[in-house]
Amino acid sequence: MSDPANSTIADALEELGDLYELDGAVIHRVLAYRNAARAVRDAQGSVAQLAREGAVTSIPGIGATLERKILDLIETGEIPATVKLRERYPPGLLAITALPGLGPKRARRLFDELGIDSPDALRAAASAQRIRTLKGFGAKGEEAILAALDAGAAERPRSRPPLDRALEIGELIIDALRARDPEAQIMLAGSARRRADSVKDLDIVVDRPSLLDALGTLDLLEEGARTSPSAARGRTHSGITVELRAVSSEQFGNLLQHLTGSNAHNAALRERAVRAGLHISEYGILEDATETIHHCATEEEVYARAGLGYIEPELRENRGELEAAAAGTLPVLVDLSDIRGDLHAHTTASDGHASIEQMARAALALGYEYLAITDHSATHGFGDEVSPEQLRRQIELVHEADAKLEGIKLLAGSEVNVLPDGSPDYDDDLLAELDWVIASVHTSFALDRDAMTERMCRAASHPLVDAIGHPTGRLVERRAPYELDVDALIATCAANGTMLEINASPHRRDLDEIHSRSAAAAGVSLVINSDAHSTGGLQVLRFGIWTARRAWLTAADVANTLPWPEFAAKLGRSGR
């Protein structure tokens, strides 16, 4: 039997975690499987090979129990615990748990009380208005279920890896190719270069055909081979397809522009160009008037030939960038170097892994002028909550650390959970003692649209709430946003001067680029935060920057590009 790919092992661990969750296992056990699945998926080498060498426990989060299960999978093709649980819970039930607003507990009740074991059975029961007979579901919940099913939420495959995983391996592959030919031009193209939330595959452009044969020889790939005189295809151990294309240096700009896309951008660009008598292709630009083909070594030349200024890859989605480039009104996009502070970070006081001082020193090392410590509040629900008494102590500790450390302002903050009625879960007296309050939803995701919108708008209009954290609750490729009228939330934030977060975690990127753009247009200040749970976690800010760039944001749209004195003035904390 050939070794299972890392993605196969990861899927198996994830399935087992889901099954344990359906079975009512303690959350720590479920999370252990999910974390292990992630570690396996992200591993750069072959995990099966590592397991056969007895070294799989070198992967963080994998101990003896998981090692045994991975070995069973490699040796027999299945994990006994999975086989047993699959008998109890039909596979269709797992698809139901993925629906927004359901989750394992509610899915179990649908199964136990109504015998619903698949998305089809769920649809039938909802259409027959049988769901509303269950306590805690109701007619609105039933409608939400039908809407989610119609939106295809149950069928959505988990096959598109998020950008962080794609870039990590993509950059390693590029480095490895560059080591083979240090003089070559090698560029990432496609959705990864556009910094999209997730990617189907990695597109790479080189100007040396010799590198096509190198692809299959890289240890980073499970397999790879030339597919034509100018192309090669491979697959990483984590299951991501790599499309490598080679072209002459004179045409490098043409092919890079073509393969960076997006399809919609390219189609619109070509249409514009045709009206000017130009035919743009991946090989060059044919000019009708002179019947000559222009080769472009750079993308700048491609756009210049089309009468346009250079368009940043993040903007190439046909969302008005061609018109703006023609008119010379493209925005100067916000850049990571514009960021002066981070306003969402956890410590060991809740579920973080570092102390206040460690986080502060890491922020200082990044050149930040300020950092807000925002541990989870009282009802967060993962057992790491900060009681009001603990928060009072934490405020003192943050202020002590602030007094001790030179060069960085520490804000004593909190990520308060928004209760179903829209109120924060600390009293106003306590909130008033904080320097910075982010309000986020971590519980009761299943409210209907009106109730959720009212909840969020109430939180956003609370005078002591500074910003709304990860406003829609979506997880990239894993969880749809909760039901929410985001435009109404944006309007409320605009009216109250409340900021909206772009949570930079590559798994969130929430607000997304579309809503971030609307928010900025409505005059809402965005704040790009890492939501770091460790010192290394501060580094994810770049993913939030990329979302902001895809949202056309300038530094002026992003509050944490302000130097500390100006940010402090904006906060207007003197009244507290």
Q: Is 262 in the site for ligand DGT (CB under 6 A)?
A: yes
Q: Is 263 in the site for ligand DGT (CB under 6 A)?
A: yes
What is the rounded distance in angstroms from the CA atom of residue 558 to the CA atom of residue 504?
13
User: Is residue 107 at the binding interface for ligand DGT, with CB under 6 A as the rule?
Assistant: no
Cβ nearer to ligand DGT, comparing 16 with 244: 244
Smallest gap, in angstroms, from Cβ of residue 374 to Zn ion?
9
**With binding defined as CB under 6 A, does residue 281 bind ligand DGT?**
no
Between 106 and 442, whose beta carbon lies closer to Zn ion?
442
CB atoms within 10 A of CB 27: 12
Q: How far is the CB of 321 from ligand DGT (least distance, A)?
A: 14
Of 8 and 534, CB closest to Zn ion: 534
Residue 241 engages ligand DGT in binding (rule: CB under 6 A): no
| Amino acid letter, 258 | H
Assess 199 for contact with ligand DGT (CB under 6 A): yes
Of 542, 496, 488, the closest CA to residue 515 belongs to 488
Nearer to Ca ion, 141 or 261 (CB): 261
Least distance to Zn ion, CB of residue 440, Å: 4
Q: For the chain, how far is it from start to end, CA to CA, in angstroms?
A: 67
- Spatial neighbors of 415 by CB under 8 A, at least 6 apart, are 344, 346, 374, 375, 376, 377, 380, 438, 439, 440, 469
Which member of 15, 142, 203, 369 binds ligand DGT (CB under 6 A)? 203
The DSSP element (H or E) to which 170 belongs, if any, is helix 163-180
Stretch touching ligand DGT by CB under 6 A, among 147-155, 197-205, 351-359, 423-431: 197-205
Residue 501 has φ and ψ, to the nearest 5°, of: -85, 140
CB of 528 to Zn ion, least distance (A): 15
CB of 273 to ligand DGT, least distance (A): 12
CB of 545 to ligand DGT, least distance (A): 19
Of the candidates 244, 259, 248, 252, the residue with the CA atom closest to the CA atom of residue 298: 252
To the nearest whole angstrom, how small is the minimum distance from the Cβ of residue 274 to ligand DGT?
A: 13
Distance CA 423, CA 429 (A): 13
Which residue stretch of 50-58, 188-196, 401-409, 502-510 sits at the interface with ligand DGT (rule: CB under 6 A)? 188-196
Closest residue by beta carbon to ligand DGT: 261
Q: Decide if residue 510 touches ligand DGT (CB under 6 A).
A: no
In the complex, minimum distance from the CB of residue 417 to Zn ion, in angstroms, rounded to a whole number: 8
Beta 221-228 vs 231-236: how paired, if at all? antiparallel
CA 230 – CA 232 distance, rounded (Å): 7
Distance CA 19, CA 89 (A): 7
- Contacted by 262, from Ca ion, ligand DGT, Zn ion, none: CB < 5 to 8 Å by type: ligand DGT
CA dist 255 → 116, 207, 269, 481, 552 (Å): 51, 10, 14, 36, 25
Does the footprint of ligand DGT cover residue 254 (CB under 6 A)? no
- 440 is in the binding site of which of ligand DGT, Ca ion, Zn ion, none (Cβ under 5 to 8 A by kind)? Zn ion
Closer residue to Ca ion in complex, CB, 163/359: 163
Find the shortest distance in angstroms from Cβ 313 to Ca ion. 12
Q: Which two tokens stand for residue 225?
A: 């081979």
Q: 355 and 381 in contact (C-beta within 8 Å)?
A: no
Q: Tell which one of 190, 253, 473, 506 touches ligand DGT (CB under 6 A).
A: 190
What does the per-residue mask of binding to Ca ion show for 186-205, with x meaning CB under 5 A?
----xx---------x-x--
List 258, 346, 474, 515, residue binding ligand DGT (CB under 6 A) = 258
Taking the least distance from each CB to Zn ion, the nearer of 18 and 510 is 510
Residue closer to ligand DGT, measured from CB, 104 or 190: 190
- DSSP labels, 72-125: HHHHHSS-HHHHHHHHHS-HHHHHHHTSTTTHHHHHHHHHHHH---SHHHHHHH
Q: Which is nearer to Zn ion, 6 or 440 (CB)?
A: 440
C-alpha span between 548 and 554 (Å, rounded): 8
Contact (CB, 8 A) for 37 and 15:
no
Kindly tell me which of 317 and 338 has the beta carbon lying closer to ligand DGT: 317
Binding flag, residue 261, ligand DGT (CB under 6 A): yes
Measured CA to CA, the distance from residue 150 to residue 82 in angstroms comes to: 30
Asked whether 299 and 256 are in contact (CB, 8 A), the reply is yes
For ligand DGT, the closer of residues 46 and 262 by Cβ is: 262
As a whole number of angstroms, the distance between CA 195 and CA 199 comes to 9
Tell me the C-alpha distance between 58 and 240, whole Å. 23
Count CA atoms within 13 Å of residue 531 on its CB side. 22
How many residues belong to the site for ligand DGT (CB under 6 A)?
Answer: 14
259 binds, among ligand DGT, Zn ion, Ca ion, none (CB under 5 to 8 A by kind): ligand DGT
Contact indicator for 446, 106 with CB cutoff of 8 Å: yes
- Select from 6, 82, 251, 266 the one that contacts ligand DGT (CB under 6 A): 266
Q: Does 259 bind ligand DGT (CB under 6 A)?
A: yes
The residue among 194 and 542 lying less far from ligand DGT, judged by its C-beta, is 194
Closest CB to Zn ion among 381 and 565?
A: 381
Residue number, 195 or 344, with CB nearest to Ca ion: 195
473 binds ligand DGT (CB under 6 A): no
H/E segment holding residue 13: helix 6-22
b (16+ CB within 10 A) / e for 228-259:
eeeebbbbbbbbbebbbbbbeeebbbbbbbbb
Q: Which residues bind ligand DGT (CB under 6 A)?
A: 190-191, 196, 199-201, 203, 258-259, 261-263, 266-267
Give the binding site for Ca ion (CB under 5 A). 190-191, 201, 203
